[in-house]
Amino acid sequence: MKFILEVDMSEGVVGEDAARELGRILRYWGGNLHHYALQPGDGSAIYDSGYSDVGQWRIEEPTGA
């Protein structure tokens, strides 16, 4: 399986202070992953501290599997 995290760094608060916001996003989602089965198809939208949708994370089967 693959864990994929995509964050648009040109939008919202992430565009203003990428290092701080990416750190916050990683801490927040890292701490909440235990709420998911982490099976293919699992995922969620990613929001910055200004509550703007800036990306997503998802679990996928690897290509060619």
Give the CA count within 13 Å in the CB-facing half-sphere of 10: 0
pLDDT tens-digit map of 22-59:
999 999 988 989 999 999 999 999 999 999 999 999 99
Q: Is residue 22 within 8 Å of 5, Cβ to Cβ?
A: no
pTM of this prediction?
Answer: 0.82
Q: Is residue 25 within 8 Å of 46, Cβ to Cβ?
A: yes
CA distance 5 to 56: 6
Both tokens of residue 25? 């996003």
Report pLDDT for 15. Answer: 86
CA distance 34 to 52: 23
Both tokens of residue 26? 């990683």
